Amino acid sequence: MDDAFCSAWLQAAARAVAAGRERLTDLDAAIGDADHGANLDRGFTEVRQALDSGAAGRPLGVAGMTLIRKVGGASGPLYGSFLRAMGGALGESFTLSEFAAAFQAGVSEVARLGKAAEGDKTMLDALLPAARALAEAVREGAQAREAFERAARAAGEGAWATVPLVARKGRASYLGERSAGHEDPGAASSALIVAALVTAVEG
């Protein structure tokens, strides 16, 4: 695995976010500002353009800085810092085990910046289960595709599990009990981005 794989992942994530834009916006309309889908799509469109233009720097770092600069609200800094932390933990070529460790480093950075934990109804409810599933798959000797499939499944299940939760962080927390009954948009977009790993490894 190498930087070319990271580029393929980011491109796949951008396509997934574009395809899921309306759903993410609808989810955010219920408990947020109704702009998560549009903002994230705009940011990942900028990421694709930066990668396609050969922007100086390695893919994850370029993508991270682009999202921080281009995406409003909390999601840009959080996703951008996630990718930058991952990129900082990886060499130009790496093993699946090293990728899993870098993924965990990125998730830890999200938790640190957002001051959130699993169960707070945030993107961590998808990212933390994905990190655990990926690490477990590596320990069990799984190949990349199976490992990423397991991570994607865990992220999707984690996102769906946010539906009954009451938000304790972010704008949704202002709604109190009324935030229950809705899937968290950040968890939903995180699940899309994790699932893009499967697309990237298949490509």
Cα three-residue angle 97-60-38, rounded to 5 degrees:
120
Partner residues linked to 2 by β-bridges: 93
Residues spanned by the domain of 117 = 3-202
pLDDT digits (tens, 9 = 90+) for 91-104: 999 999 999 999 99
Cα–Cα nearest to 44, from 196, 148, 153, 152: 196
What's the distance, CA 183 to chain centroid? 15
pTM value? 0.95
Question: Collapsing DSSP states into helix, strand and coil, what is residue 202?
Answer: helix
Q: What is the DSSP letter of 96?
A: H
Percentage helix, strand, coil for the chain under 3-state DSSP, each rounded to 5: 75, 0, 25
pLDDT digits (tens, 9 = 90+) for 27-57: 999 888 889 999 999 999 999 999 999 887 9
pLDDT digits (tens, 9 = 90+) for 109-168: 999 999 999 999 999 999 999 999 999 999 999 999 999 999 999 999 999 999 999 888
Number of domains forming the structure of the chain: 1
CATH number, residue 57: 1.25.40.340
What's the distance, CA 60 to chain centroid? 12
